[in-house]
Structure 1
Amino acid sequence: MSGIYIHIPFCKQACHYCDFHFSTSLKKKDQLVFALAKELQLRKDEFKDTTIETIYFGGGTPSVLSTNELQYLIDSVYLNYKVTDHPEITLEANPDDLIINNIDALSISEVQSLYKTKFEELKKTGINRLSIGVQSFHEKDLKLMNRAHNAIEAKRCLETATQYFDNISLDLIYGIPNSTNQEWLENIQTALSFGIPHISSYALTVEPKTALASFIKKGIIDNVDDDLAHDQFHILIDQLNQAGFEHYELSNFAKKGYYSKNNSAYWLGKSYLGIGPSAHSFNGKQRAWNVKNNTIYIKKINQDQLPLEIEILTKNDKYNEFIMTGLRTIWGVSLTEVKKQFGESFLEYLLQQANQYINNQMLCIVDNRLKTTQKGKFLSDGIASDLFKLR
């Protein structure tokens, strides 16, 4: 089965660390929503022989769309593709888009009615999973990152969302400059207090051409500390293990039965279709990506043209992808599959390159699968790059 990713390139404001494609102007939102629906129609033959298991609204901030716009796009998927009976439909959302602001003048019953209407409307669209970008429950962290919500809104959002949705993921960022391990522990404990069954957590990284990179260069914000990030990563693992979460991918933790089907498909090498500006697609043989420009994207789609570039993957590309995604997951890299898909020479190369990491206990082989150990998890991407075949 396959999945469809729909990129919504709009945000209320720019987070200082973000280098994803987005616009803070919503002027072209209506045009873009129609273009997304049209791209779904234009590309339906690519998945004519497969069943869609997941629909994922990412961004940007998909929660800036109205429920009518989300319903229109979901209906467009059903109109053009064969969809499984119970697909996972995920909406990435920011807390400030899911809660009702300016409620001081309202009665408790009025507030409850507004919340009920908002979340029930989302459920009626078919969305059954929320991925909420909290990032931190500490005000100073949110201000440093230039998030659109505050800590109170984050908690209010989760209090309400858990009343209407069972399948919720929460994003947290660690390694924030001038944060302490105690503050990070408080973030984790606060997240757990809401009974959330899935947590995605990422180290704060400094991407080129972001506001964060500029502030660090100018000395306005301290640089990220790799040792701090390493310590907080292991605090995260310990706390979530104790809370019954399974660490099924480098940045993802879930209670049993709550693995993200959409993201798991990426890591297991399944095909997916990326719709919208900057969205990537993969079919096992080639990778494609749309132009990172809303105006050009809309214009091309309206002319019945697909604004994308295609890369045909070489055997080495496929092998490298297999290693990278496998090492990030609980399943590891199947040595049997390496030999089956790529041949004996690739398997010999992999084992030779992995030997140093096995000796220093950062990798291990269990049930004929190459996996990272607890010691090696934090460095899994770097380890994977050393296992790549470059020629």
Structure 2
Amino acid sequence: MRAMRRRTRGFTLIELLVVIFIIALLVALLLPAVQQAREAANKTSCESNQKQLVLALHNYHDTHNVMPPGQIVTRYLGDLTTATGRRYADPTEPYSNVQNAGLSGVSWMFHILPYIEQKNVYQLWRPDFNVFGNSELAFDNSAGGLWRVSGTPPALSNIPMFYCPSRRKGIQRNQFSHNKYIDTDAPVQLTPASQSRFGGGTDYAGCAGSGLLFNLQTRSLWDLTPAQLNTINATLTNPQAVNDVNQLSGNMGVFGANSSTTMSAMTAGDGSSQTIVVAEAERFEGLKLTPNTPRTALQIASDGWAWGGPATLFTTYGGPNKKLEYSFAGGPHDDIIIVGLGDGSVRRISKSIDERVWRQLGNVAGGIPAGNF
């Protein structure tokens, strides 16, 4: 008797398709949950970054009794003139200028480096040169004796804490700040098109107040020529007067040109819990900078923690996350923006916040309560 063969039954095509469909359905159901979990973790990490930034600012204040300046225009009182004191330092100016006029241009973020475990970058910085002098262009001239040591120029050092994990982990070429734009009506490139930045970015900025900033107002003192400034004020002798360049007194924020804001001023004014110190900066993610990309000058974001300009300062004059102007705050989170307050707390604020409330949160002593937010 012939033995019967046992036939092995395989999957039919229909059964295979059903299995594939079920797997695809499970992936489709689980993927949003995974993405939400990842974004939740990123938001928590972003909050932690800002918490550390505000803590570093408080530690700086404990040491120096003032908050760091938003930008050092002049390093020494003897350098303070109408021409140098009444405008911000332009990072396109040759590094040699700093030796004669003290035009430093360095931001508040530079000053807190020792307080966030970045003392090595802080010590590498050449204080006798400005931001331009500490950039890769000056570094390329190292054979001429400009630099004492070799390595990455300090202005291009990547500081992990300065990046929001929802947005990026470092400088991204051809996006956010192609070739280190300076935001004016005619954006200026600091390097040739083939030399994009490779480090030194930031996704956070300090609050400079609740008024108009940079070139957003027709007669902004930040953009006037020395001759025009001489006409306006030829008797500038006190560095404290520089504080009034950025904003009217009721609009002034924690940071400004040669500013020296104290915690007591914050507390006696609107209250430290009602004052934004740092927030996520607008970077227009998703809108790549290419010759074919339609974008206004106000939609070209600066980048770089070293320069105390549009890259590291913002105003609450306009609402957050609007993607309208580079001088406003804006983060990569769809429904909120994360901010650090003067009392050391970090808050998630709805992007739909009443703009009148948002504006009052940006100044130190506006005299108008911000209310609930």
Which structure ranks higher in relative contact order (CA pairs < 8 Å, sequence separation ≥ 6)?
2
**Normalising by structure 1, what TM-score?**
0.28
**Which one has a bigger Cα radius of gyration?**
2
**Normalising by structure 2, what TM-score?**
0.29
Higher strand share: 1
Higher helix share: 1
